[in-house]
Structure 1
Amino acid sequence: MPAVTGNLTEIGGGHLVGKIPEIHFTLNAPNAKAGVMLPTEKLTVTPDANGAFTANLQSTVDMNDDAWYTVSIQWLDAAGNYVKADFPDWNLQVPTGGGTFSDLFGRPPRNTQMVYVSLSAPENPRKWTFWLKDDPVNPANPLNTGDLYQWRNV
């Protein structure tokens, strides 16, 4: 599974001394890929003393339906009892190679019929993504008649 690495300084802006956080990653909905069912059971990660964490998550770019992880942060007291939870509106999409937390969260596109128009193919395209390859001789041509590609088995 792809590893997503990060540090609490990316979330809180400091090391949050004296706080005992747990970071929860939950798939937005049950999903499937390559014959494997993926439930919404949350994965809980506890950062180390320096705030660093690693979460081994499923890649979301190759799931059958539009997928992302929601992120929540639960604060515990010194005895491990619940104090508070934060539910930021972050959506984490995970490429097959994993990555750094701060580079991966954002809002996923709601339009799954994305069409990229460029000279080069899009990086990490989702299933069913279209790419209209620009005319390399005249890429500024608004009536571009370049080749159209679609990803079906990403």
Structure 2
Amino acid sequence: MPNVTGTLTEVGGGHLVGKYPEIHFTLNAPNSKSGVMLPTEPVTVQPASDGSFTAPLQSTTDMLDDAWYTLSIQWLDAGGNYVRADFPDWALQVPTGGGSFSDLFGKPPTNTRMVYVSLTAPENPRPFTMWLEQNPLNDADPLNTGKLYEWRQL
């Protein structure tokens, strides 16, 4: 699994002394990849005393459906009791190599349709992926069929 690393060092301008946050990463919906079902059960990490954390997450770029992690930050007291939670409106998309938290979050795209233009069909396409059977580098190529295919959900 790819690791996502980050640092949570300040809260309201002060350091984390006396504060005990937990970060919960949750898939936006159940998903699948390589024949494995992926539920929405959160992955919970607690930052180290210096605020750094590492979250072992599944890569979202190779999942069957469009996928991203949402997150929440829960604040606990010294006894581990819930105090409050933050729910930022971020979407974390994880590549197969993982990466730094600050480089990976953003809003999911509003247009999730993909069209491949090539002489060969894409491998393991997501539902509703389209393929234009054509050589994009040579319009005079006799193999350019102009046929448009679409994969559907069953």
TM-score class, shorter-chain normalisation, is 0.7 to 0.9
The alpha-carbon distance between structure 1 residues 33 and 40, as it changes in their structure 2 partners (threshold 3 A), is: same
Cα deviation for residue 17 of structure 1 reads: 2.5
8 A contact 2:90–2:105 mirrored in 1: yes
Greater Cα radius of gyration, structure 1 or 2: 2
Name the CA distance, whole Å, in 1 between partners of 2:93 and 2:11: 17
Query: Do structure 1's residue 109 and structure 2's residue 109 form an aligned pair?
Result: yes
- 1:79-136 CA-partner distances (Å, limit 9, x unpaired): 11000000000110000000000000111112112569xxxxxxxxx95488xx998x
RMSD over aligned Cα atoms: 3.1
Secondary structure (helix, strand or coil) at the match of 1:103 reads helix
Whichever residue aligns with residue 70 of structure 2, its letter is T
> Cα deviation per residue 1:45-84 (whole Å; 9 max; x = unaligned)?
0000000000000000000000000010000001110000
Question: Are the structure 2 counterparts of residues 29 and 109 from structure 1 closer, same or farther at C-alpha, using a change threshold of 3 Å?
Answer: same
Contact 1:72–1:87 (8 Å) recurs in 2 = yes
CA displacement at 1:15 relative to structure 2: 3.4
Structure 2: gaps of 5 or more residues:
117-124, 138-150
d(CA) in 2 for partners of 1:82, 1:108: 30
2:64 is equivalent to residue 64 of structure 1: yes
Secondary structure, counterpart of 1:71 in structure 2: strand
- The TM-score, its normalising length taken from structure 2, stands at 0.72
Cα separation, 2, equivalents of 1:68 and 1:37: 15
- Residues 102 and 94 of structure 1: CA distance in aligned 2, closer, same or farther (over 3 Å): same
Q: Percent identity?
A: 74
1:89 and 2:89 correspond: yes
Structure 2: distance between partners of 1:6 and 1:46: 11
Paired positions, count: 128
